[in-house]
Amino acid sequence: MEPYNQDLLQDAFYHLDNLKFNLTKLKLAYNRDRAIVNHIDNLLKDCELIQLIVQSYDSYNFRLLCNMINNSFADPNSHGVLVFIIKKRFGENYDRGKLNHIKFPA
């Protein structure tokens, strides 16, 4: 990975850690309000998920998938990309009706 991109990923990781620290302080300050604590817990989980995604960005398979998707957008007639990632254990016998559909807002 390019050093500039690595620096950006480290910066993002640093700011997410700061956000998690501030959210934890808020959680301690409002520990009697169950609704706020639950909401902060959800935000902390989201921050951890983002950190895991940022960490995995450097993996070879993720970069390969991103490059394949980006290359498919080079076609000016392309309206989008449909990506199927099948669980390895189902292999050739996967059921298209049991695939999760994730639609990004346009």
Task: Look at residue 106 and tell me if it is in a domain.
Answer: no
Contacting residues for 79 by C-beta, under 8 A, at least 6 apart: none
CA distances from 59 to 3, 23, 45, 54, 65 (A): 15, 29, 22, 10, 10
Instruction: Look at the chain and report how many structural domains it folds into.
Output: 1
DSSP 8: H
Task: Look at residue 79 and tell me if it is in a domain.
Answer: yes
pLDDT at residue 2 in the model: 60
pLDDT tens digits, one per residue of 51-103? 887 777 666 777 777 788 888 888 888 788 887 777 766 667 777 777 777 76
* Domain containing residue 40: 3-98
Task: Look at residue 57 and tell me if it is in a domain.
Answer: yes
Q: How far, in Å, CA of 83 to CA of 64, rounded?
A: 13
Task: Look at residue 103 and tell me if it is in a domain.
Answer: no
Task: Look at residue 93 and tell me if it is in a domain.
Answer: yes
Residue 45 has pLDDT above 80, yes or no: yes
pLDDT tens digits, one per residue of 12-44? 888 999 999 999 999 999 999 999 999 999 999
Confidence class of residue 106 from pLDDT cuts 50, 70 and 90? Answer: low
Task: Look at residue 7 and tell me if it is in a domain.
Answer: yes
Contacting residues for 23 by C-beta, under 8 A, at least 6 apart: 40, 43, 44, 47
Tokens of 74: 């080079």
Task: Look at residue 75 and tell me if it is in a domain.
Answer: yes
